[in-house]
Amino acid sequence: MPRKVIIITDPGQDQAVAILMALAAPESFNILGIVTSAGNIDLNKTQRNARALVELAGRTDVPVFAGCPRPIGRPLVTAEHVHGPTGLDGADLPEPTVALRAQHGVDFIVETLRAQPAGEVSIFSESPLTNLAMALVKAPDIAERIGQIVMMAGAYFEVGNITPSAEFNIYVDPQAADIVLKAGIPTVMLPLDVTHKLLSTPERLRCFAGLGNRGGKVVANMLGFSESFDLRKYGWMGAPLHGPTVPAFMIEPGMFKGRQVNVSVEICGELTLGMTVVDYWEVTDRPKNVLYVTDGDADAYFKLIAKLIGRLP
């Protein structure tokens, strides 16, 4: 039975790959809707990108909603320096024809969770947590209706990628992350600590280009564009591929290793705003609220991505 999910996202090349994987796996995911937020790029572009992706995948049955245009309590920080001015540079996707749904994304989250049986819907999170946090503030009763949150977010041992101490998704809206992590919902966090071990090497990118379908070519081109920033930054043999960890974990959790810990978010620090403080060694009595993933099988990860992207038109 496919797992019912709401995808929250701000695509973004690596997020785009994650969405395409989910769209290509109807046996694993019953996607109730995609809710876009401001993050990697502004909301107008993220909702456009999400609509373009459902068209590319031939899945225009999946509704796309626009959520919040900015974080809860601070100005929007974006990442055009990584993703380009469209957020999906390198993809060369046409203007989508599928319509954006009129309903606000936060209202969609609330209404959907209230309409579905408790525990049956999971949150597939690729972005700042603004929309989910606002839904929890508006309707606290939905917390107990969410089966699980699986999020690409955070960092501890690998510290930050947007500041010296913070990972981008958390840094953009630390207040939202704080709300979500305190809501008592079963949560899996896939942080930089694991994504920095899953590198899109030249060989792996050639695999996508060689799949023989349009989807594979788009993925190879997108990742070829976005990886240039990380290659310059880190000097590694490949760039981390963050977003696809979410669908990969949900399909094959045995590919990853982690432990149940407490994760808290710094919302006031001058130097550490947005830092995910992980009590990895249990030195506090704070409740364990997150399965924190620190390792993954890179070969199996990229084989799964290629298998699913190969199904696309």
Structure tokens that stand for 214 in this block: 């349009």
Catalytically annotated residue among 81, 104, 196, 242: 242
**Neighbour count for residue 150 (Cβ, 10 Å):** 25
Length of the chain: 313
Instruction: List, in sequence order, the alpha helices (H) in the chain.
Output: 13-23, 43-56, 80-83, 105-115, 130-138, 168-172, 174-181, 192-195, 202-209, 214-234, 245-251, 298-309
Could you tell me the two tokens for 88? 């999906």
Q: Give yes or no for a cis peptide into 224 (omega within 30° of 0).
A: no
Decide: helix, strand or coil at residue 112. Answer: helix
Active site residue 242: yes
User: CA-based angle 191:183:172, to the nearest 5?
Assistant: 45
Query: Largest Cα–Cα distance of the chain, in whole Å?
Result: 53
Measured CA distances, 177 to 112, 170, 250 (Å): 21, 6, 21
Question: Sign of the C-alpha dihedral, residues 222, 224, 226, 227?
Answer: positive
State the catalytic residues: 242
